[in-house]
Structure 1
Amino acid sequence: MSAAPPPPGSLARRATLIDVARRAGVSPATVSNAINGRRYVEAGTRLRIEAVISELGYIPNLRARGLRTGKANTIALFSSMPAAVSSGPAKLGFMMEVAMTAALAALEKKLALILVPPQSLGVEDLKMDGALVIEPCVDDPYLSGLRRRGVPVVSIGRPPDTEAVMPFVDLQSAQTAALLLAHLSASGARDIALFIGDTGRSAYQDTEQDYLRYAAQHGIVPRVYRLNEIDGEQAGFQAALALRRDAPQVDGVLILVDTFAAGAVRAFTQSGVSIPEEMRIATRYDGIRARETWPGLTAVNLHLDEVARLAHRSTFFVDVRSDTSATLLEPGRGIGYQRLYPPGARR
């Protein structure tokens, strides 16, 4: 039996949960359970409810549900990396790789995923049930705001603040640094410098520590350039020029941020330094920036799809009121580098 059409000249009344329950011959609670999946509903009854929902065009009122349950049915994804690094040619690559997998995981749980623009909004007015924070920096504004609100948080990358107790997915930054340094050495580099950001992210800290160990073991003078993230590609460009002026014998650079690496490649090329014959360059993330830079860069597959799945899943097991120790989660896959070339370029 179809629903009666509305009188001429009137607006169609929106179907309610009560309407669905009456048409399906069940209680409103059963309809709610069938929609939300919180309690078992017999398969035949569920199919009947779904058919009525389709027939009546019923759309659940998420705002009303949120008021009843106190939940927003939303996970938010944050990154404090400046737009000069993450936007533009980089196309938010790191964040978007995480977001794609996290969005699929959210949909499976009937949740929405909000992408918060880098360095744009505070957290006080956002409604969310949990948050993923990508590689927080020291005194990260998002992380501190989320903790004040008591929002369950999982960090993608170890939080640099040792007093911050929260679950995190380990991006294995030290292992990645060791891998890339070994690759530069195997490629012929004998004097290697390091470019990192100046915000104290754990990836910077771990990479610098591993680089200093490498320098001591190989008897080279450590050269660490700390770049301002806000300056983006230009920071890498200026650092490369300074390196050529200060230490022209350097023949390899580990540049942790791909945007910095793109700037360094431009500086070396304009200075007449051939890559990779005279200067070997490696960066951490094999995103759009690394793939489109020419000459080609060595980069690492960070398995961000698996990282995002682990992080999203972990938000459902976090209780900030009782959490007393950080949970170390690892992607659990090997890391490998690859040589990247633009489409159509000769291998």
Structure 2
Amino acid sequence: MSNFQPPSTVIAKKATLIDVARHAGVSPATVSNAINRRRYVETSTRLRIEAAIAKLDYIPNLHARRLRTGKANTIALLSSMPFAVSSGPSKLGFMMEVAITAAMAALEKKLALILVPPQSLSVENLEVDGALVIEPRINDPFLGGLRRRNLPVVSIGRPPGLEEDVPYIDMQSERITALLLAHLTTCGAQDIALFIGNTGRSAYQETEQYYQRYAAMRGMIPRIYHLDEIDGENAGYQAAITLHRDYPQVNGVLILVDTFAVGAVRAFDQLKVSIPGDMRIATRYDGIRVRETWPGLTAVNLHLDVVAKLVIEQLFALMSGQVLHQPCLSPNAELVIRRSTHPDALATSTNT
């Protein structure tokens, strides 16, 4: 019978806050103050504590810290816009462009920024101190959940029906629509259709309202197509097929969502409808899709880096208890002219 015994497995004991305090020669309260930065700790003492943390490989219990301080040191960026629209194949869509600037600002405040997928319609279990919501729709599930929890929240775009309750950045959708429609008309489009989403976001509402007025002013029959955001490019493709079948005389389309616009270009190409000879197309967001599509799509520079700075500054102010003055206007957009409206265009820019 063998007397061999396998070596025992030694599980290292995790260092505790008390261990760090003992090693640094200070009280546990001082260690806590140094970690959480709630009170001033002398530099020499802080350095001893940091050295002890490194030597003992101490990992703070974040859940316990949240229970103790009531803070998660985290903010969230949310959009109920389907992934096919807000990011999609390029992974560099509207949401990602906002996220880059917001993340940098959050890091400067020693906060983490998390991105919440559009499919995650429940925010009840999010451990965050505040949130940014991108262009909420009517009865937006994210916005509703955040407000039920009384969390500080700021919206990029007017929150439909909640303008008096939720601080927001006014994206000036009506002004942008006026800019794009005037440009399409200048480029020779006499009969202009409109493709927008069907979720009642403020950008859709304001665009449709101005388009109706513009059509009436010019004696133009309004042709409005409400597309399902979930269908992404295919929604724009199918709408363009239907438009050309039913109204072949239409020679201009304002397509508010860049994803829809890319699908429409594909449809017109298959139908042998030349762009911009027979059809002029303009869209709103000047993202990577519109630049990589052929022909390149005339769009609008929304200055999302500036918008992101504005909205996160508002969120930080709200989180600190300040009262915000509303609304806050986004910077004036710039028209970026490409070949979808002008055959000789080389991505020139025009201020509103």
Q: TM-score range by the shorter chain?
A: 0.7 to 0.9
2:297 is the counterpart of 1:335 = no
- Aligned equivalents of 2:264, 2:280: Cα separation in 1: 11
- Aligned equivalents of 1:121, 1:222: Cα separation in 2: 35
- Aligned equivalents of 2:29, 2:305: Cα separation in 1: 37
Aligned to 1:151: 151
- Aligned equivalents of 1:181, 1:54: Cα separation in 2: 61
Superposed displacement of residue 315, structure 1: 2.3
Q: Greater relative contact order: 1 or 2 (C-alpha under 8 angstroms, separation 6 or more)? A: 1
Aligned to 1:112: 112
RMSD: 2.7
2:94 is the counterpart of 1:94 = yes
Superposed displacement of residue 61, structure 1: 2.0
Aligned to 1:190: 190
Superposed displacement of residue 142, structure 1: 1.4
Q: Secondary structure at the match of 1:193?
A: strand
Q: Percent identity of the aligned residues?
A: 69
Shifted more, 101-110 versus 259-268: the winner is 101-110
- 1:166/1:327 contact within 8 Å kept: no
Change (3 A) 1:327 1:55: farther
Aligned to 1:3: none
- Aligned equivalents of 2:70, 2:213: Cα separation in 1: 50
- Aligned equivalents of 1:239, 1:181: Cα separation in 2: 19
Aligned to 1:257: 257
Kindly report which structure 2 residues correspond to 1:1-347, keeping only aligned pairs within 5 A, or say none: 10-91=10-91, 93-162=93-162, 165-318=165-318, 327-331=326-330, 333-339=331-337
Deviations 1:310-345 (A, max 9, x none): 22232233379997x8732233x331122458xxxx
Change (3 A) 1:304 1:38: farther
Change (3 A) 1:335 1:24: same
Deviations 1:60-85 (A, max 9, x none): 22111011112222212211112332
Change (3 A) 1:139 1:186: same
- Aligned equivalents of 2:18, 2:162: Cα separation in 1: 52
Q: Which amino acid aligns with 2:335?
A: Y
Which blocks of at least 5 consecutive residues in structure 1 are unaligned?
1-7
Superposed displacement of residue 22, structure 1: 3.5
Q: Which amino acid aligns with 1:127?
A: E
- Aligned equivalents of 1:44, 1:182: Cα separation in 2: 65
Q: Secondary structure at the match of 2:232?
A: helix
- Aligned equivalents of 2:255, 2:309: Cα separation in 1: 27
Deviations 1:260-304 (A, max 9, x none): 101111111111111112211111111222222211101122222
Q: Which amino acid aligns with 2:328?
A: L
Superposed displacement of residue 167, structure 1: 0.8
Q: Secondary structure at the match of 1:318?
A: helix
Q: Secondary structure at the match of 2:291?
A: helix
- 1:156/1:168 contact within 8 Å kept: yes
- Aligned equivalents of 2:271, 2:119: Cα separation in 1: 34
Change (3 A) 1:143 1:33: same
- Aligned equivalents of 1:322, 1:108: Cα separation in 2: 19
TM-score, with structure 2 as normaliser:
0.85
- Aligned equivalents of 2:43, 2:301: Cα separation in 1: 43
- 1:299/1:338 contact within 8 Å kept: yes
Shifted more, 173-182 versus 161-170: the winner is 161-170
Q: Secondary structure at the match of 2:137?
A: coil
- Aligned equivalents of 2:307, 2:265: Cα separation in 1: 29
TM-score, with structure 1 as normaliser:
0.86
Which blocks of at least 5 consecutive residues in structure 2 are unaligned?
1-7, 340-344, 347-352
- 2:23/2:52 contact within 8 Å kept: yes
- 1:135/1:158 contact within 8 Å kept: yes
Deviations 1:201-251 (A, max 9, x none): 000011112222322333322222111222222221121122223332222
- Aligned equivalents of 1:232, 1:210: Cα separation in 2: 24
Q: Secondary structure at the match of 1:194?
A: strand
- Aligned equivalents of 2:45, 2:79: Cα separation in 1: 44
Superposed displacement of residue 9, structure 1: 5.7
Shifted more, 130-139 versus 212-221: the winner is 212-221
- Aligned equivalents of 1:179, 1:163: Cα separation in 2: 25
Q: Which amino acid aligns with 1:169?
A: I
- 2:75/2:130 contact within 8 Å kept: yes
Shifted more, 87-96 versus 287-296: the winner is 87-96
